[in-house]
Homo-oligomer: A and B are copies of this chain.
Amino acid sequence: MIKVQREDFDIGAELAQLTDGNAKVGGLASFVGLVRDLADQGAVSAMTLEHYPGMTERRLAEIEAEARSRWPLEDVLIIHRYGRLEPGDRIVLVATTSAHRQAALESCAFLIDWLKTKAPFWKLEEGTKGAAWVEAKESDDRAAEKWKR
């Protein structure tokens, strides 16, 4: 399931929905990305996440489908927020459930790595020296690269 939303999400409630009533689930893996406070580096006091409505949902659905084709998953959840976020705020949740833990763990790592390089989101950071668009990281490209087939 894909959710692209401005509002915050409740991690416990979202994860509970993936497991409640499905006793085929042996493992639930999840990752939450949050806004870090880099004030001491003259950086983020807040950020604004822009995205491409329509394309975002399609690319995330494609990433979900790719994960389901690679691992035997019971369920997949991706929630990504947009709009203005402050340090400590949640940005993204990815979670997978499977009968087997390695499938859940690997697919969860895959989802966030692919999302980082494929989903059309952009971060504008507000720092002490004004606002600046975040540059894409080579380390993210390398992380995505390792899942290439």
Could you list which residues of chain A lie within 8 angstroms of chain B, going by C-beta atoms? Answer: 10-13, 15-16, 19-37, 87-88, 99, 101-102, 104-105, 108-109, 112, 139, 143
Contacts and interface: CB of A to CB of B under 8 A. Distances in A.
26 contacts: A10-B12, A11-B11, A11-B12, A12-B15, A21-B88, A23-B35, A23-B87, A23-B88, A24-B36, A25-B34, A25-B88, A26-B33, A26-B36, A27-B33, A28-B31, A28-B32, A29-B30, A29-B108, A30-B31, A31-B101, A31-B104, A31-B105, A33-B101, A105-B108, A105-B109, A105-B112
Given A11-B15, A12-B13, A16-B11, A32 B27 contact: yes
- By DSSP majority rule, is chain A's interface helix, strand, loop, or mixed? mixed
One complex includes copies of this chain to the number of 2
A23 B45 CA distance: 11
A37 to B, nearest CB: 3
Given A27-B31, A27-B33, A19 B105 contact: no
A46 to B, nearest CB: 11
A33 B102 CA distance: 11
Nearest to A37: B23
Nearest to A142: B102
